[in-house]
Chain A
Amino acid sequence: MDFQPTEERRMLADMVAKFVQNDYPMKVRLDAGATDLGYSPSAYMQMAELGLIGAMFDEDIGGFGGAGFDIATLFTELGKGLVNEPLSDTALASGFILAKTGHLGLVEQIISGKKRVALALIENGADYDWTMPETLAELLDGAWQLTGSKTSVKFFYGVDAVIVSARTSTSDGISLFLINASATGMTQHQFQTVDGGSACDIELNCASAILLGLEGCSYETLDAAAARSTLAICAEALGIMDSIKSMTIDYLRTRQQFGTVLGKFQALQHRTAQMLLEIEQAKSAVTNAAKDLDAPTDERNRAISAAKYSIGRIGCYVAEEAIQLHGGIGMTWEYDLGHFAKRLVMIDHEWGDQDHHLMRYAQS
């Protein structure tokens, strides 16, 4: 057994860490997060040029990674820097689906950063459960048209195309479609997210679409894409917790009250210790999920749900506990902790929250 990362993955981690340190100041992140786009296009392009998008895909489809530990390594480092550029939302999951359905040209453009393709699954009546879309696809004169609503499509603003899940009248299964961003019949309502970013609600009214894969047969592809993207945000949360841990330890070591540093108070020592051991448990959950990302479906999904449940529970606890351990300073915009905490809690609201995954694990 060897828990050490490979040389390649160590280099990947170092490269991302250098990018964050040299080219990704918090102010840029926060300013970009407040725009309609919700991220910085120049930072995104720089990351593509560094090969970070390619690291999420395997060599067969033009990448140079794509395994669970590649994704986990990349996103843990991105999380440490609170990097907001939408790699999991509009590159990893959508690129995986496009590769599985033979659209390699588009995957190549995603890897090079030239194109972004959003993934629109969530509907109001089902929320985290993406297995039951009400959006309806109809075949008219040999062309598909989609009608329905999707909500909270992250980083949809400014994409080149979007993958939409739908049902058809001639199949019981889920179908996936690709819609060009400029297609008629698709309207968007853009809004900001509380963790600093952008999302859209989308209305589809007879929007022209291309079928991806076979009609009614996309459940497994989508499930595998969801697993990859879920692993990515679990790893991101781990990186965020790592930074929160450092900030909290530094603060406890330096902040003076009652004539000594806060870290001298046993009540706070014990709470800090509890936080640190929970973070280690979260790290193990992500390690398990990374290991099983390409395992048989049931095994993979159990590991993914175990990780997402653990990250959801521990992430919210760490966010709240770190703010409390800091006191008033942790409540301010100027101090970075709050921004890390907001993103960490919001990760529980993507790809199913802790209760959703606890139930999925229990029922599997």
Chain B
Amino acid sequence: MDLNFTAKDLAFRKEVIDFLEEELPKDVATLVKADIAVSKEDTEFWHMTLHKRGWLTYSWPAAFGGADWDPVQQFIFEKECAAAGAPRILPFGLKMLAPVLMAFGSKEQQDHWLPRMCDGSDWWCQGYSEPGSGSDLASLKTTAVKDGDDYVINGQKTWTTLGQHANMIFCLVRTDATCKPQAGISFILVDLATQGIDMRSIRTLDGGHEVNEVFFTDVRVPSSNLVGEENMGWTYAKYLLAHERNGIANVGISNQKLSRLKRLSLTQKRSGKPLAEDPLFAVRLARLEIELRNLETTNLRVLDGFAKGAGPESSMLKIIGSELEQNFDDLTRRALGRHAQAHTPEVFEPGYNGPQVAPKNMANQSAAYFNKRKVSIYGGSNEIQKNIITKMILEL
């Protein structure tokens, strides 16, 4: 056993750091580190920057034009990107749809859709959840009925993240209502410009606009947009979940939050002394740091064992990672003391030159704390993840 990064790993790490130093705009990194939502333009710019370097598809296999990095390199890349404050690579096309197309899509679909994800032609969003189908996703009711060369879609999707920027949506739809719910679901690609689609924003509790509901009324989609076989959509969606090992634990983000919090604890004061000297705060911080060090090694151990086949590991990483990220936001809020109440994202508006209440990078922190309550709910709530773990382990 050798738990150190190899010389090759370290050289790679330096290459990533140099790239980020060179290419990542400082003003964008400032916004990302302050938990301000990244604009469409900044996301597209960053995707393009990575694309030019060949790193946008870092998680793809070489056969599809990926960077062909091993899991440890991918881990290093994600960690350094988060540490530098790089915008998140949007997962919907590149990390969620792409692996499904690679595994189950036709050659034509792969040749058409994969390059368009890379060059920015398409912005994908996800149509899984429905108002009546959250944790019980398999009960989804949006129907797709074959009519000539088309499918006709009717129903409603919800929690569609950043759908307001998207031009394409991949959906799970019901193509057979007569069988076991999981056996009648298909996976289909829909152009959002198609007639009969209405997207409405959902305002979240922090006041932001990140998610949407999408209504489908007699939406005609060519049957060539069906991925794989009809009624196999549930299998494809599950394939994706079980194969997501990197990224899911958000180790990079939590590391960035840890260093931000440590810096904050030196400048925030209680009774005239730095917060870092407050024993109760120091204990809270130490607990989180220990959890994070543990998680980092858990994540690397899971990556190491990846070849042995899919188990409940990604569910474990999701639970630990999401709760830890939330705990960092929770402690950061606590560290702000009375200033946690101030909600002043206006300090990030161009040209703002008024006073600041909290430290500038904390101006949106409490809203971010509330916003991040979502991470233990979305992508299969942590309760669902626990069901997956016990189902696999108890074998009852």
Contacts and interface: CB of A to CB of B under 8 A. Distances in A.
Interface of A: 122, 124-129, 132, 151-152, 154, 189, 191-195, 199, 201, 256-259, 267-268, 316, 320, 323-324, 327-328, 330-334, 338-339, 341-342, 345-346, 348-350, 353, 355-356, 358-359
Nearest to A154: B341
A151 B383 contact: no
Contacts of A346: 340-341, 366
Contact of A189 (B136, B354, B367): B354
Contacts of A152: 338-339, 341-342, 357
Nearest to A316: B330
Contacts of B278: 355
24 contacts: A124-B269, A127-B269, A127-B270, A129-B271, A129-B272, A152-B341, A154-B341, A189-B355, A256-B132, A267-B383, A324-B377, A328-B158, A328-B377, A328-B378, A331-B204, A332-B202, A333-B202, A334-B202, A338-B204, A338-B205, A345-B369, A345-B370, A349-B341, A359-B280
B341 A195 contact: yes
Contacts of B136: 257-259
Contacts of A199: 341-342
Nearest to A152: B338
A333 B207 contact: yes
Nearest to B284: A355
Nearest to A335: B205
A125 B269 contact: yes
Contact of B159 (A192, A258, A328, A341): A328
Nearest to B345: A192
Contacts of B381: 324, 327
A47 B120 CA distance: 57
Given A333-B204, A333-B205, A327 B342 contact: no
A201 B356 CA distance: 9
A21 B270 CA distance: 41
A345 B377 CA distance: 19
Interface in B216-259: none
Contacts of B139: 257-259
B337 interface: yes
Contacts of B132: 256
Contact of A127 (B204, B337, B367): B337
Contacts of A342: 205, 370
A194 B280 contact: no
A348 B206 CA distance: 18
B134 interface: yes
B338 A128 contact: yes
B186 interface: no
A320 B377 CA distance: 11
B343 interface: yes
Chain A interface mostly helix, strand, loop or mixed?
Answer: mixed
A264 to B, nearest CB: 12
Contacts, number: 142
A34 B331 CA distance: 26
Contacts of A126: 269-272
Chain B interface mostly helix, strand, loop or mixed?
Answer: mixed
Given A127-B269, A127-B337, A349-B341, A324 B373 contact: yes
Contacts of A189: 354-355, 357
Contacts of B269: 124-127
Contacts of B378: 328
A213 B207 CA distance: 44
A355 B202 CA distance: 36
Contacts of B158: 328
Given A327-B135, A331-B373, A191 B344 contact: yes
Contacts of B326: 320
B334 interface: yes
A108 B203 CA distance: 43
B360 to A, nearest CB: 13
A194 B366 contact: yes
B272 A125 contact: yes
B175 interface: no
B374 interface: yes
A189 B135 CA distance: 45
B126 interface: no
B129 interface: yes
Given A194-B366, A355-B281, A127 B338 contact: yes
A122 B61 CA distance: 56
A11 B333 CA distance: 39
Contacts of A124: 269
**Shortest beta-carbon contacts, A-B, top 6:** A338-B205, A333-B203, A194-B343, A257-B136, A127-B337, A129-B271
Contact of B342 (A193, A257, A323, A358): A193
A348 B376 CA distance: 22
A332 B357 contact: no
A193 B338 CA distance: 11
B13 interface: no
A339 B366 CA distance: 13
A191 B340 contact: no
Nearest to B355: A189
Given A151-B338, A151-B339, A152-B357, A327 B370 contact: no
Contacts of A257: 133-136, 139
A338 B370 contact: yes
Contacts of B203: 332-334
Identify which of B135, B158, B272, B370 gathers the most chain A CB atoms within 10 Å of its CB: B370
B296 to A, nearest CB: 24
B260 interface: no
B386 interface: yes
A331 B374 contact: yes
A177 B109 CA distance: 74
A193 B378 CA distance: 27
Contact of A194 (B159, B272, B370): B370
Contacts of B281: 355
A268 B158 CA distance: 23
A332 B204 contact: yes
Contact of A341 (B205, B268, B270): B205
A353 B340 CA distance: 11
Contacts of B374: 328, 331
A189 B70 CA distance: 52
A128 B206 CA distance: 25
Interface in B3-31: none
